[in-house]
Amino acid sequence: MSMLIVGTVATDDIVTPFASVAGVLGGSAVYAATAGSLYIPVQIVGVIGEDFPQKYKDFLRQKQFDLQGLEIQEGKTFHWAGKYHFDMNTRDTLATELNVLATFNPTLPVAYRETPFVFLANVDPTIQLRTLDQMKQPSLTVLDTMNYWIETQHDELTAVMRRSDLVMINDEELRQYTGEHSLLKAARQMLALGPRALIVKKGEHGAALVTKEGYYYAPGYPLEDVVDPTGAGDSFAGGFLGYIARQRKITARELHRALIHGSVIASFTVEDFSVDRLKSVTFPDVQKRYQEFASFTHFERLD
Amino acid sequence: MSMLIVGTVATDDIVTPFASVAGVLGGSAVYAATAGSLYIPVQIVGVIGEDFPQKYKDFLRQKQFDLQGLEIQEGKTFHWAGKYHFDMNTRDTLATELNVLATFNPTLPVAYRETPFVFLANVDPTIQLRTLDQMKQPSLTVLDTMNYWIETQHDELTAVMRRSDLVMINDEELRQYTGEHSLLKAARQMLALGPRALIVKKGEHGAALVTKEGYYYAPGYPLEDVVDPTGAGDSFAGGFLGYIARQRKITARELHRALIHGSVIASFTVEDFSVDRLKSVTFPDVQKRYQEFASFTHFERLD
């Protein structure tokens, strides 16, 4: 049993009000895989250029990710640069150099095609579609996206949504996509497209899981310091789907627990740049913080 | 057993992207009292002008609020006008006419001075101090404030904080007061001034209760439509303290349950303008929504 992740593998330059780094390992697939591998083996579908640093290749191997689906192509690796504002919730994109990603058209290794759990991490919707086209009816397909694709590839994105079981989107993007201010109404609109569940991400405030039947909430973990929010959503998704894949059950109960696991994982991610904190997290670390979440929210049970 | 509330009694003009009203009943004391009276009798300390509409006087009497502490003075009643942006979370103040509030210097009825539960609702800190000076050691004093007082009466506000058991403040105001970005660090700074607990309000995202020992979270109630956010914080506080006063216990368990009651009450308030929704809410309505909150957040217990 494993999970397939298609997304970006990148080098990032990141500026925050308190520190900055350049050329660090990043990308939606990298964050999601590092998180998901805490729960279950991961297969990566993505592309890197010839310039991808050896130390990062070594990291991906040392993590024992299945890299058969990671293509190396002539040219440069996808590069992103961003700068966070003082509130650490909003950021400006300083550079997006697609490089080898611009022409990436994945061909899945045969061994990947029957993988039951699929995460379509944040990447061009046409790449997400191309990946889905090669899969044999996964039991759970999770889609993540961003405002850029809502603006530039609305129809392709909608096509992927219709074929996904669960969509992850932040509150502003949900309002942007639907044109509806009420998050609950907006969520219902998106569920009407086909997905069985929606995860509405609210940054430091947490995340809500909305289904046709229910509503579940996970608050953000109260951190003393946020070093770098990059990858919080990608690792949230990796933890969420990793937990589900490990349980092999898709009940309301497990979806809600997965929501908490996602929040726990994201809370580790933002404690350092890149995957520097996340890569050293152990499963007992996750379980400890999971129990803390219970103490934050279970108001019947205190004392 | 009752609770004392000092704050504003006002007429409001409110503009939202979807509707507007003029001259409606408002004020921090009115919202808090309407909420608190669902749990326990309330005493109001405040001031109105000669122009205060008879229909609003009738409402306050019909609610059986103790109005011995509500002074009527020559001149006009405090008036506030505000306009909400499309997101319904941010607003511009269009007018603040203090009128009789400008010279208000409360003298508490003797019967009020031993009231054990005190809510210093949003009003000039000097009025809050003057009220506290006349009280005989309340068992619980809750303070609410706003950015305007942080800017214009920082020292007076700090003096009230030092004498309060619990402070309610929104996340941006907490950052503004402490100059600290991390909400957890900022909360600890404020707790160091003396309060035993802090409630950090996050608008539609909910509220967190922070003590030296613990952290508890109540998400916002997922509403189809928000009609008018005015008074959400005031009624949250009234529900919170009303619940505590009714229980007569100040344990972590009860504080956390009170946090949920505050969120429930606020969710009713914003469903209509003024106290129009809140005034018709029954205790069974509150209990029903309270149980829904459990289903949103108790991830161990689903199915």
Say whether A185 and B219 touch across the interface (CB within 8 A).
no
Say whether A41 sits in a helix, a strand or coil: coil
What are the counts of helices (DSSP H) followed by strands (DSSP E) for chain B? 10, 13
Tokens of B54: 């008879």
Question: ∠A72-A78-A82 over CA atoms, to 5°?
Answer: 155
B249 and chain A in contact, CB less than 8 A: no
What does the pLDDT read at residue A181?
Answer: 87
Which among B182, B253, B259 has CB closest to A225? Answer: B182
Q: In this complex, do B183 and A222 lie within 8 Å of one another by their Cβ atoms?
A: yes
Does the ipTM exceed 0.90?
no
pLDDT exceeds 50 at position A302: no
Predicted pLDDT of residue B302: 32
Listing DSSP states for B210-261 in one string gives EESS-EEEEPPP--S--S--TTHHHHHHHHHHHHHHHHT---HHHHHHHHHH
Average pLDDT, chain A: 95
Q: Is B186 in the A-facing interface, judged by CB distances under 8 Å?
A: no
Measured between CA atoms, the residue of chain A closest to residue B175 is: A87
Would the CB atoms of B297 and A300 count as touching at under 8 Å? no
pLDDT band at A13 (very low <50, low <70, confident <90, very high): very high
Contact B299 A256 (CB under 8 A): yes
Q: Mind listing the pLDDT tens digit of every residue in chain B (303 residues)?
A: 899 999 999 999 999 999 999 999 999 999 999 999 999 999 999 999 999 999 999 999 999 999 999 999 999 999 999 999 987 878 999 999 999 999 999 999 999 999 999 999 999 999 999 999 999 999 999 999 999 999 999 999 999 999 999 999 999 999 999 999 889 999 999 999 999 999 999 988 999 999 998 899 999 999 988 999 999 999 999 999 999 999 988 888 899 999 999 999 999 999 999 999 999 999 999 999 999 998 888 875 333
What pLDDT score was predicted for residue A301? Answer: 38
- CA distances from residue A143 to A28, A236, A238, B61, B140 in whole angstroms, order as listed: 12, 12, 11, 56, 48
**What pTM does this model have?**
0.90
CA-nearest residue to B261 within chain A is A299
| Beta-carbon separation of B86 and A300 below 8 A | no
At residue B95, the 3 state secondary structure works out as strand
Rounded-to-integer distance, Cα A297 and Cα A221, Å: 11
Distance CA A47, CA A121 (A): 13
Query: What residue has token string 């103490």?
Result: A295
Tens-digit pLDDT profile for residues A254-296: 999 999 999 999 999 999 999 999 999 999 999 999 999 988 8
- In the predicted model, what is the mean pLDDT of residues A231-256? 94
Confidence of residue A299 (pLDDT cuts 50, 70, 90): confident
- Give the tens place of pLDDT for each residue, A153-186: 999 999 999 999 999 999 999 999 999 988 999 9
Q: How many helices (H) and strands (E) does chain A have?
A: 10, 13
